[in-house]
Amino acid sequence: MCLPGRLPESMRGIDDCYIHYFLRAQIYGRKGESVATSREVTVRKVYNTPLRTAPSVSISPYEIE
């Protein structure tokens, strides 16, 4: 599930956080029958860039002896 940043629940300016939802749906049928389901959802902030970057290695065109 991906939420756009313009939602009021978005977490702008806060690092390393999440919003926790507990969703429940119930359908009532005839004769008192019902079907229920629930799901736990955690929304985490996702960074566009990797948090850990690979160390850069510079290779010199000249050999050192």
Domain definitions of the chain by residue range: 11-41
Tell me the C-alpha distance between 34 and 26, whole Å: 7
Tell me the C-alpha distance between 6 and 22, whole Å: 22
Is 21:1 a contact under the CB 8 Å cutoff?
no
- What is the H or E stretch that residue 64 is in? none
Q: How many CB atoms lie within 10 A of CB 10?
A: 14
pTM (2 d.p.):
0.39
In whole angstroms, what separates CA 48 from the centre of its chain? Answer: 11
Tell me the pLDDT tens digit for each residue of 7-52.
Answer: 665 556 666 677 788 889 999 988 888 999 999 988 776 666 655 6
Total residue length of the chain: 65
